[in-house]
Amino acid sequence: MSDPPGRDAPTPEQLIDWDVAHFWHSFTQMHEYEPLVIAAAEGCELIGADGRRFLDGASSMWCNVHGHAHPAINQAISEQLARGAHITSLGMGCDTTVRLAKRLVGIAPAGLDRVLFSSDGSSAIEVALKTAFQYWQQCPEPRPAKTRFLAFGAAYHGDTIGAASVGGIDKFHALFKPLLFDAVYAPGPDRHKLPAGVAPEAACDYYLGETERLLAERADEVAAVVIEPLVQCAAGMVMHPPGFLGGLRKLCDRYNVLLILDEVAVGFGKTGRMFACEHDGVSPDFLCLGKGLTGGYLPMATTLTRTKIYNAFLGDAASGRALYHGHTFCGNPASAAAALASLDLFESEQTLAGLEPKIARLGERFCRLAEHPAVTNARQTGIIAAADYVAEHQVGRKVAAYALEHGLWIRPQPGMVYVMPPLAISLEEIDRMMDVIEAGIVEVTGIAIK
C-alpha cells in the first residue's frame, strides 16, 4: 500500500518505533516484545521492512494455503473490488457469495447444505453454539433442557465469550471464567500422552468410553459436542487416536446430541485431505471453517449445517424463530472471491495430490529430529508436525529466536516445536526449514544429533 501523497515512506526504524509505540499485538506479552515488521510476502516467504526474508513455517498463523501473493487470488480480489467491495448479507446476497455457498456445499461432507457466513473462526463457533442451542428450543420435538455443551480437555475454539466457554486452556480462559457459561468436559483424546495403564492400542476405546460415560449421565442436558477433529492445534498439536472421530459421531447419534466440528485450523488440506473429518468418513451437524477458506488472504469464516436444523428456524416474521446473529461483513464479496479462487487452485494445481511427497518428507525429517536427546513425542498429521522438548523450559523460545536469525519464522513455544507451513511449500523449502530447526536445537542444547 502506498503512502499518502506528499509524505515520504517511513524508514524501517520509524516503523519499528511506531510498532512499539502504538500496536498492541494479539497473544503477545508486549513487555517482552521484540519488534518484527513485515512489509511484503511472496510464495512461502515473509519479507521484513528491513529486507530480510523468512520462510513462513506457520503459514501466517495456520491460514496461508497456496503461498503469499498468488496472482490468481490477487486477480480475483481485484476484479471483485471493481464490481463491489461490500454488500450486506442481511436480507440480500452478493452473487459471488452465493456462488461460494453453492461451491462449499459441493465439496463438504454429505448432508451439509446450508451455509452461514461470518468473519472469523471464533464467530463461526459462536454461530454453531447459538444455532444448536436454539434448535433444541424450537425443533419439531423440543428439548428445552438441552442447553449445555460437551467439550474436551485443553480445547481452544476462539476468544469470544461463547467460544471461550467451550475452551479448556487456563492461561487463555481462566481469568474470564466469571463471564463464561459452564461446559461439560471429557478428557482430551491425546494418542501420545496416555493415562497410566492405558496402552496405545486401547487409547481410542478409553477416550470414547470416558466420553460415553458423560453422555450417558448428561445427554438430556447436552445440546452438542464440540471438537477439533484429528488435531487440537492450540492445545499443543494434540493428535487423536485413529477412529476416535468416527466413534464420537456414533455416540452423538446414540445419545441424540449434535456434533460440531471445528475445522477452522485443520480444514482445507492441512491434514492431507480437504477436511479432517473425511479421514473417518464423518459428516457432522455443524462444520466450522475459517483461516484457509480464503487461502489465508482475507477474513472470512463459515458454519455449514443441515437442512433439518435450518428448517427449525423457519416461520413468519412474528414467530421469533429466525437466527438473530450476524455481522456487517458476513459474506463479504471480496473475501468470497478469494475463497472461490482458492478452491479453483485446489483443482487446477492438484494441491491435495501434490501434498503426498511433502507429507512424507516432513515425516522423514521429524523422525530424524526425534533422534535428538532433547526431543520427545514427535508426531505428525498431514502437513502438521510437532515435537516436545525434554530439556530446560525456555528451549523452545531460544530455538525460535535462532530460527528467526537464520531466515525461518516459527511460533515460539516454551516446551514444543511445531510447523504448519503453507501447502505450497516445496520439498527444498521443507528441508531448509528443518535444517534450521535442527541446527537451532543443536546450538541451544549443545548436543548434536547422532
Instruction: Provide the annotated binding site for pyridoxal 5'-phosphate.
Output: 121-122, 262, 327-328
How close are the terminal C-alpha atoms of the chain, in Å? 48
Question: Strand pairing of 38-42 and 375-381?
Answer: unpaired
CA dihedral 359, 361, 362, 366 (to 10 degrees): 140
- The x, y and z cell numbers of residue 254, run together, are 446414540
For the chain, how many residues are written? 450
Binding residues for substrate: 156, 291, 326, 411
Cα 361 from Cα 149, distance rounded (Å): 39
Per the CB < 8 A criterion, the answer to whether 233 and 265 are in contact is yes
Per the CB < 8 A criterion, the answer to whether 8 and 46 are in contact is no
Cα 217 from Cα 260, distance rounded (Å): 20
Half-sphere exposure of 29 (CA within 13 A, CB side): 5
Binding residues: 121-122, 156, 262, 291, 326-328, 411
Residues 6+ apart with CB under 8 A from 211: 150, 186, 225, 248, 251
Cα 97 from Cα 335, distance rounded (Å): 9
At 5, give phi and psi (nearest 5°). -55, 140
Half-sphere exposure of 268 (CA within 13 A, CB side): 32
